[in-house]
Amino acid sequence: MGVPPLPFALGPVKSPKQARPGAGDRVDDGNGRTRFGWRGGISFGGVVSFIFADLIILPILDIYRKYYGWKVMGYILVTFYVTMAAAGYVVELLFGALGIIPTNRQVVAISEGVQWNYTSVLNILFLLLAAILVVRFLHTGGLPMLRMMNTPAHDMSQHDM
């Protein structure tokens, strides 16, 4: 059972709930859990759009606005947004046209509980290392250094410029 190309392509424009057939429905997975939303996970085009969406970062856009002005910041925002949306649609429609989207999406993500293994030991070791580095940072004047970094250069009387 395929998805008609035109309604699928226009679905996200109308409403996010109409993006895929069955989206927004309650689905009982047979194990006593009820899932909402996508049947079988996010689409390939959604993954590509999500990756491109990571390029639209508000603090970075604010920096572009300060250095280059509103026009350049707006151009970058619109360019990144259009790229994100277009790439998602292109990948989804291309994968659908080539028939390489898997039909069986019944994947169990978590099949085991918490267990002790080498990653658990590494997590504990690096947590201890991080604690040691934080203590060293605090004992060697790290906080005054951070406060000094926020002070404008003309207010620093102890340093000659």
The verdict on pTM exceeding 0.85 is no
Query: How much is the pLDDT for 110?
Result: 67
Q: What is the 3-state secondary structure (H, E, C) of the chain?
A: CCCCHHHHHHHHHHCHHHCCCCCCEEEECCCCCEEEECCCCCCHHHHHHHHHHCCCCHHHHHHHHHHHCHHHHHHHHHHHHHHHHHHHHHHHHHHHHHCCCCCCCCCCCCCCCCCCCHHHHHHHHHHHHHHHHHHHHHHCCHHHHHHHHCCCHHHCCCCCC
Question: What are the pLDDT digits (tens) for 104-122?
Answer: 766 666 667 778 899 999 9
What is the per-residue pLDDT across 41-57, written as a single tens digit (0 to 9) for each? 678 888 888 888 888 89
Residue 17 has pLDDT above 50, yes or no: no
- Rg of the chain on CA atoms, in Å: 25
Q: Identify whether the C-beta of residue 38 lies closer than 8 Å to the C-beta of residue 20.
A: yes
32-89 pLDDT, tens digit per residue, is 554 444 455 678 888 888 888 888 899 999 999 999 999 999 999 999 999 999 999 9
| CB distance 105 to 41 below 8 Å | yes
Identity of residue 85: A
